[in-house]
Amino acid sequence: MGGNLSLRSTCALAKEGNIIDVSDVALLKRLQKSSEWFNWCTTQLLDKMKPRNSQGLPEQEEYNFRYVDGSIVREPGATGSTWRLHYSMNAKTLAPDEITITDQKKGELLKNYSVKPNDVFIGDRIYPRRNGIIHVHSNGGYILCRFPPSLTPLHNDNGTPFKLLSKLRKLKLGDIGEYNVVIKHNEGQINARVCTMKKDHESTLKAQKAIHRKASKNSRKGSTRPETLEYAGYILILTTLAESVSPEKILNIYRSRWQIELLFKRLKSIIGAAPLYKKK
């Protein structure tokens, strides 16, 4: 199975090698009972890959930082089914703490994860949706996510819309900004912060070109709003963490998220986890 073989081929090779004579059905049943062994294998592999210390994370022991991400996995063949992998990684140990496989219709949402008090979910720009933020907040957790302003409306304490872009325009290159905002919902409101830093000219142009490419790919060329291109000149992080965690530290924490991106690359290119041969 380590060579991407079917169960039947694996059993045939095992028999030829005088290892064991077992049917593919029997092997499948044994694998279904081997979750602890698979967990041990994964833990050993991640232990070899993880860095000696986690960079960018604050020293407060009360927080449990979790990187979250998702990816599409497909069964081989023209008619193979498509699934979505939802993955949560402990930011300090780099070990998985929650893994779920759903059909592709299940989006990448914070509501897909269980939440314990003081969990901090570190995610990319698809995660800070209002329902997900409410889910995490109501269970005693926090979010720290890359933030596209069009995703979730922000307000001032008095209920008026928060004009983020007018604040950002006052920043100079390398400046770090911090703005207190409110996320309104049916049962009240959630206090949050937008932590931001102005990008340099080269990084801004690169982000704007990516936006144009995406719009062209989706047949929306010419429909990109000027505000979207202007927002590309800033790193925007939305967090519900307390103000005791400085905006500089918030930005550093998000930078450490590359660990889960690296993990997905390893899972697919090295381990060969992209084809999902057996859902179980």
**First and final C-alpha spacing in the chain:** 14
176 within a domain of the structure (yes/no)? yes
Q: What is the percent of the chain with per-residue pLDDT over 90, rounded to a whole number?
A: 51
Is 119 domain-assigned?
yes
The overall pTM is greater than 0.85: no
Q: What is the pLDDT of residues 108-160, one digit of tens each?
A: 999 999 999 999 999 999 999 999 999 999 999 999 999 999 899 999 999 99
What the block records as the tokens of 74 is 């497909």
State how many domains the chain has: 1
pLDDT tens by residue, 200-248: 999 999 998 988 888 887 766 667 888 989 999 999 999 999 988 999 9
Q: Which residue has the tokens 């593919």?
A: 24
Cβ atoms within 10 Å of 231's Cβ, excluding its own: 21
Residue 5: inside a domain: no
* Residue 130 vs residues 6, 96, 100, 126: alpha-carbon distances, Å: 43, 25, 22, 11
Give the domain CATH number at 45. 3.90.350
The larger pLDDT score, comparing residue 271 to residue 226, is at: 226
More confident position, 56 or 115: 115
Q: Is the pLDDT of residue 50 over 70?
A: no
Query: Does residue 12 fall inside a structural domain?
Result: no
In a domain, 7, yes or no: no
- Structural domain range at position 164: 34-269
Q: Is residue 162 part of a domain?
A: yes
Confidence band, pLDDT 50/70/90 cuts, at residue 1: very low
How much is the average pLDDT of 178-182?
A: 96
Alpha-carbon gap, residue 108 to 87, rounded angstroms: 10
Higher pLDDT, 125 or 269: 125
Whether residue 193 lies inside any domain: the answer is yes
Going by the DSSP 8-state scheme, the letter that residue 24 receives in this structure is: H
Beta strands across the sheet bearing 82-90: 96-103, 82-90, 64-74, 119-123, 142-146, 234-239, 188-198, 176-185
Q: Is residue 10 domain-resident?
A: no
Residues 122/141, Cβ–Cβ less than 8 Å: no
How much is the mean pLDDT over the chain?
A: 86
Residues 142, 239 contacting (CB under 8 angstroms): yes
Q: Which amino acid is at 20?
A: I
Answer whether residue 90 shows pLDDT above 80: yes
The answer to whether the beta carbons of residues 31 and 11 sit under 8 Å apart is: no
Reported as type and span, the H/E element at residue 184 is strand 176-185
Helix pair 258-269, 35-49: axis angle to 10 deg: 120
